[in-house]
Amino acid sequence: MKRNNVIIILGLFSFFGLAMNLTFKPTPIKIEYPSSWPKPVYNFDNNPLTQEGIDLGRKLFYDPILSIDGSISCSNCHLSYTAFTHVDHPLSHGVNDSIGIRNSPALMNLAWHNSFMWDGAVNHLDVQALAPISHPAEMDEDINNIIRKLIGHSTYRESFYKAFQDSTITGEHLLKAISQFELTLISCNSKYDSVMLKTQVFSMQEERGYELFKKDCSSCHAEPFFTNNQFENNGLPINPILLDLGRYNITKKKTDSLKFKVPTLRNIEFSYPYMHDGRFKSISEVLNHYTNNIKVSNTLSNKLKSEIKLTSNQKVDLTAFLLTLTDKKFLFNKDFSFPLDKYYPDVEKKKKTD
Amino acid sequence: MKLFLFILINLININIYHYQNNDQLYVKIIPLFDNNPIQLSKANKDSISIETLKFYLTDFCLIKSGEVVWKEVNSYHLIDISKPTSLDIFFTNEVKVDFDEIQFLLGTDSLTNVSGAIGGDLDPTKGMYWAWNSGYINFKLEGKQNSKPFQFHIGGYASPYPTVQKIRLKTKKNLNIAFNVADFLNQLNLVNQNKIMSPGKEAQELSEILSSLFYINEKE
């Protein structure tokens, strides 16, 4: 009888052990943002953030396994230290040295976007990654093939299990993990934000620039995200080589010709070159465009129909304000950069013990 | 100990009994070419061969005297002729209602198209999602006529050209739903119209034709 008891107790132990394993609970994470901001557009109920999900997404974001020849990761065109854009590169790069037709956009505050890509081709953050993954001039890969590679990888099945309690890797979970990481990329700690919270004050020059900004720029680059998330024709002459009609390519409506999504101005100091095709290298070139070079056409934004006039001193003031949108805490956030510990856990351990 | 075994055996028995007695209602989809079952990649008398036939049937409900009496929850089914099991749609819960009509959608509704990544039959790995113009391909038909390829990828959810179509068929018991691909191709001129890969007016027109071709197969 004693022996039976021992067996029963052991059985119970193994049963509870198994049950606990099966109900591994990931750590829930809540994003933080200023209380004055509106509620996110992204529905977190369909993809609740967890530390495990975010970690997996970050690992995927930095892993060239997503590209056909293992040469390109998301981070190739979206570098954390430059607000997740490809600084100094007018057009996106891809596998086999291919060059795309558009400037890689900066990534931040994505939970408040309801469309993605310069032409709004993508309608939800979760499915955004499918576009660069499949594009022949970007990653040129098939999502089913990525899943095959991930299944064969030494750690991904476990990471997916921890994030989604399912070691079967699905397209849904792959995309949701990438979203989870991207949703944490929140920039809300610039000098501008501190001024809004009344913990800091603008210099007189920045203040003058802010007033000019509110008068001439904020109808499209609306606070607090510095974009209205709409599509506008900002008077750029069409690039004769790229012949990119922007939003028209998606809607096929004549009224959408030459319209592109209004980009955020947060971290603009680090996100050059500017415009959908990266044609301007500096903020001063951008300001000169708006004051002197607007090309009038049928679809020109209503907000640009009356001329923007700025003296050279005013341009300096406006630039000073724009530089207050730099968020160093965001740019140099260690949680956003290459996850060395995820790829080389031994190196990190060694560093700590040294 | 004996009591424990007794309970265990009974639990197993109850489970077996439950599964056997489950009077499950299911819909059988019968894709035909003229009156014959479609054989993939095999040319028929019109020198047409079908290589891919995949489409979504969603939002199944049963209707009695014009009123919905039963509705499937999370009703999304990808019908793929290369996967015979996908042709039998088993409803997950038991259905015991009288009905005189069945209703479903050919395609996916607009909410589904703007809800991000979804799993199961809607997973983007199923080859039915457009990466560069977000949205589901509701109906995919690919093949050849006299070795000339045709490709119909019909989708689009946004106004003014949504391609999702409601289908309502009168039936009291028989849920064998047939669909004749030849009836679709016969209405087109494959020489001029052999490709569609994006949403728009043409896609909407084709989706209307497709939705008119489903019928209750009385033979089975």
Please determine, for residue B128, whether its predicted confidence score (pLDDT) is greater than 50: yes
Half-sphere exposure of B166 (CA within 13 A, CB side): 5
- A125 CB near a chain B CB, below 8 Å? yes
Model pLDDT, residue B108: 97
Q: Is the pLDDT of residue B23 over 50?
A: yes
Please state at what angle helix A171-183 crosses helix A143-152, rounded to 10 degrees: 90
User: What is the DSSP code (8-state) at residue B127?
Assistant: S
Which of A320-324, B3-7, B19-23 is least confident?
B19-23
State residue B16's pLDDT score: 46
User: Would the pLDDT of B3 be above 70?
Assistant: no
Listed by start position, the domains of chain A span 44-186, 191-329
Find, in chain B, the residue whose alpha carbon is nearest to that of A147: B125
Q: Span A196-204, mean pLDDT?
A: 97
CATH class of the domain at A191-329? mainly alpha
Q: Are B143 and B137 in contact (CB under 8 A)?
A: no
In this prediction, the answer to ipTM > 0.90 reads no
pLDDT of residue A162: 96
Lowest mean pLDDT among A45-49, A142-146, B33-37, B105-109: B33-37
Q: Tell me: the pLDDT tens digits for A74-90?
A: 999 999 988 898 888 88
Of B117, B119, B127, the CB nearest to A127: B117
Contact residues on chain B for A136, CB-CB shorter than 8 A: none
* Least confident range of A62-66, A98-102, A238-242, A248-252: A98-102
For chain A, give the percent of residues with pLDDT over 70.
92
**Tell me, what's the pLDDT at A342?**
72
Residues of B in contact with A137 (CB under 8 A): none
pTM: 0.89
In this structure, are residues A259 and A249 in contact, taking their beta carbons and an 8 Å threshold?
no
Name chain A contacts of B117, Cβ cutoff 8 Å: 47, 124, 126-127, 171-172, 175-176, 179
Cβ distance B133 to A133 less than 8 Å, yes or no, reads no
How far from B220 is each of A323, B33, B167, B173, B212, CA to CA, in Å?
A: 73, 17, 20, 12, 21
Q: CB distance A123–B134 less than 8 Å? A: yes
Mutate which of B5, B110, B129, B133 to test chain A, going by most A C-beta atoms within 10 A? B133
**What type of residue is B49?**
S
3-state class of A182 per DSSP?
helix
Q: Which of B117, B127, B200 sits opposite A176 (nearest CB)?
A: B117
Which residues in chain B are contacts of A131 at CB distance < 8 A? 131-132
Q: Please say if the pLDDT value at position B19 is more than 50.
A: no
The CA distance from A240 to the nearest CA of chain B, in Å, is 23
Contacts of A41 (CB under 8 A, 6+ apart): A111, A112, A113, A114
Q: Which of the residues B132, B159, B161, B204 would you substitute to probe the A interface, choosing the one with the greatest number of A C-beta atoms within 10 Å?
A: B132
pLDDT score recorded for residue A87: 80
**A260-261 and B148-155 as β-strands: parallel, antiparallel, unpaired?**
unpaired
In the chain, the amino acid numbered A302 is N
Please judge whether B134 and A122 are an interchain contact, meaning their C-beta atoms are less than 8 angstroms apart: yes
Q: How confident is the model at residue A92 (pLDDT cuts 50, 70, 90)?
A: confident
| Whole-number average pLDDT of chain A | 92
Contacts of A133 in chain B (CB under 8 A): 131
Q: Give the confidence band of A347 by pLDDT, cuts at 50, 70, 90.
A: low
Return the CATH number of A44-186, one of 1.10.760.10, 3.30.300.20, 3.90.800.10, 3.40.50.620.
Answer: 1.10.760.10
B78 burial via Cβ count (<10 Å: 0-12, 13-18, 19+) = buried
CA Rg, chain A, in Å? 24
- Does the distance separating the beta carbons of A121 and B133 come in below 8 Å? yes
Q: Is the pLDDT of residue B15 over 60?
A: no
Q: Which residues pair with A260 in a beta bridge?
A: A232
